[in-house]
């Protein structure tokens, strides 16, 4: 029958598989389903929503493609660990909040340096400019996601402290305390392997593949404000590239 090959539709115009997706996403966002929890099987979803098995399968496939669930052959479908999607410039805190997860940072070091000549140049500063250097371990769902080293002009952000950085989103601090609106970033991206100390912090194997991203982040006034060197667990990040007309 045709219904077994085409996703069922509903009178309100929303395809049935999208309705199933929305229901599952709502349960994940509300915290009813947490990472590692089992999702209803295709057969259960078909029964609950009164649709074909093909439609239920289509819904789960779409959710898996988005990285929200993952399937284990012979075991079922489970809520996937949260991932960061690199498709727009948002803070780690904002990314995790979109998944109803609380994020926090462990500040590993907070210092003032004047020997980071390349970083200073990227921020359009003189070679020996004093920079605030902040190294943070980014954590959510009780798992380390990334090791980030941030650099800011020390003179411009003299009031920034270790405690203020640890409390929440750096983007929010820059906007709320300093009136700086973040606009866009120039990025360089490549792959690297985890050195022993980094592997220990990120809880991955030594030499495990990592995503390395260098960002110069600009304000709405076009001023280079922040330089970030990030080492990201490759299993917790995806890159989404879309074409807009």
**pLDDT for the residue 4:** 37
**pLDDT for the residue 6:** 41
Distance between CA 242 and CA 245 in Å, rounded? 10
Distance between CA 58 and CA 71 in Å, rounded? 13
Which of these, 80, 21, 78, 77, lies nearest to 49 by C-alpha position?
21
pLDDT tens track of the chain, all 245 residues?
A: 333 334 454 445 678 888 898 899 888 877 788 888 899 988 999 999 999 989 988 888 888 877 788 888 888 898 887 665 554 555 555 555 555 566 778 899 999 999 999 999 999 999 999 999 999 998 877 788 889 999 999 999 988 999 888 877 888 888 888 999 888 888 888 999 999 999 999 999 999 999 898 999 999 888 999 999 999 887 766 555 454 44
User: ∠ CA(153), CA(157), CA(159), 5° rounding?
Assistant: 150
Read off the pTM. 0.62
The strand pairing partners of 112, in sequence order, are: 132
Distance between CA 76 and CA 195 in Å, rounded? 35
Hey, what domains does the chain have and what are their CATH numbers? 2-79 (1.10.10.10), 84-239 (3.40.1410.10)
Distance between CA 237 and CA 20 in Å, rounded? 25
- 72: Cα within 13 Å, side-chain hemisphere: 9
Cβ atoms of 216 and 188 closer than 8 Å: no
């Amino acid at each position: 029958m045709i219904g077994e090959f085409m996703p069922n539709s509903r009178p309100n115009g929303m395809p049935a598989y999208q309705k199933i997706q929305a229901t599952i996403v709502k349960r994940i966002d509300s915290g009813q389903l947490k990472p590692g929890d089992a999702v209803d099987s295709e057969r259960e979803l078909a029964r609950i929503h009164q649709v074909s098995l093909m439609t239920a399968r289509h819904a789960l496939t779409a959710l898996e493609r988005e990285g929200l669930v993952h399937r284990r052959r012979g075991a079922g479908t489970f809520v996937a660990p949260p991932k960061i999607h690199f498709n727009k410039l948002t803070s780690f805190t904002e990314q995790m909040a979109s998944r109803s997860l609380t994020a926090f940072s462990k500040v590993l070091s907070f210092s003032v340096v004047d020997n980071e000549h390349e970083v200073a140049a990227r921020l359009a500063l003189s070679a020996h400019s004093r920079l605030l250097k902040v190294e943070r371990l980014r954590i959510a769902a009780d798992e380390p996601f990334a090791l980030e080293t941030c650099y800011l002009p020390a003179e411009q952000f003299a009031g920034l402290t270790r405690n203020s950085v640890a409390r929440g989103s750096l983007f929010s601090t820059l906007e709320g305390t300093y009136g700086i609106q973040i606009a866009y970033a120039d990025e360089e991206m490549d792959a690297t392997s985890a050195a022993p100390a980094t592997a220990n912090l990120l809880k991955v194997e030594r030499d495990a593949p990592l995503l390395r991203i260098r960002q110069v982040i600009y304000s709405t006034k076009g001023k280079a404000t922040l330089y970030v060197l990030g080492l990201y667990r490759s299993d917790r990040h995806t890159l989404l590239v879309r074409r807009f007309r």
